[in-house]
A and B are shown apart, each in its own frame.
Chain A
């Protein structure tokens, strides 16, 4: 099946620094990737939708300047948490939709990245 790889799986950083999380589709081209945030024991909160070669579409309430998303190729999207603060600590998950899967909407998920900001 389709594989999505997310890196790093865990990251600890100091307050005020920036952290980049990568999401790669390993064996398919992903025209659309999604970034979610998941709080403990809660569902996924969609942060933004990223399409290759264009600007990401952010959900209401998500700060664009805080969470920078770049989808530079059909296999890579990155999420950069800028000037991270402790309240940004969370589990971030990406998912990808392969070309041709738009009709069913099936998603392939990365393993998730746990960010801890000290």
Chain B
């Protein structure tokens, strides 16, 4: 079945450091891939998405590229801020399917 594996946290970085959160997936066909972010006490927000191989999703300085050859969708940001502290979820949705599969989430702490 479909699954998403993302690196365990927490990840602690200093402000302006480079961020990478790894995400790999298992799926049949060509799923859509997402990164969602959850700030403390809130629901999830879509951060970025990619719907086909080699697409790059980007938003608020975050980027992730849909790599079918490595079945990966790693999240990166060149310079993190304290306000980026949150939990990040990698997710996939199979075409025409209604069930989104979420990774376990990676908590990010950014220190000033």
Q: A95-B44, A106-B49, A109-B43 are in contact. Are A46 and B107 (CB under 8 A)?
A: no
Q: Given the complex, which residues of B lie within 8 Å of A104, measured CB to CB?
A: 32, 49, 51, 93
Q: A43-B105, A106-B49 are in contact. Are A112 and B93 (CB under 8 A)?
A: no
Q: Say yes or no: A49 contacts B43, CB within 8 Å.
A: no
Q: A32-B98, A104-B93, A105-B93 are in contact. Are A110 and B46 (CB under 8 A)?
A: no
Q: Decide if A97 is an interface residue (CB 8 Å cutoff).
A: yes
Q: Say yes or no: A41 contacts B99, CB within 8 Å.
A: no
Q: Given the complex, which residues of B lie within 8 Å of A43, measured CB to CB?
A: 89, 102-105
In the complex, chain A residues 76-118 whose Cβ is within 8 Å of any chain B Cβ? 93, 95, 97, 102-112, 114
Q: Decide if A6 is an interface residue (CB 8 Å cutoff).
A: yes
Q: Say yes or no: A42 contacts B105, CB within 8 Å.
A: yes
Q: Say yes or no: A105 contacts B43, CB within 8 Å.
A: no
Task: Write the residues of chain A forming the contact surface with B, with a CB cutoff of 8 angstroms.
Answer: 4, 6, 32, 34, 41-44, 46, 49, 93, 95, 97, 102-112, 114
Task: Write the residues of chain B forming the contact surface with A, with a CB cutoff of 8 angstroms.
Answer: 31-32, 34, 36, 41-46, 49, 51, 89, 92-100, 102-105, 107
15 A–B pairs (Cβ distance < 8 Å), ordered by A: A4-B43, A42-B104, A42-B105, A43-B105, A49-B98, A95-B44, A103-B95, A105-B92, A105-B98, A106-B49, A107-B46, A107-B93, A109-B45, A112-B41, A112-B43
Q: How far is the CB of A9 from chain B (nearest CB, A)?
A: 8
Q: A6-B43, A95-B44, A112-B42 are in contact. Are A102 and B107 (CB under 8 A)?
A: no
Q: Say yes or no: B107 contacts A103, CB within 8 Å.
A: no
Q: Which 5 A-B pairs have the closest CB atoms?
A: A105-B93, A109-B43, A109-B44, A112-B43, A111-B43
Q: Given the complex, which residues of B lie within 8 Å of A34, measured CB to CB?
A: 100
Please, how many angstroms separate the alpha-carbon atoms of A42 and B102 in the complex? 11
Please, how many angstroms separate the alpha-carbon atoms of A107 and B36 in the complex? 10
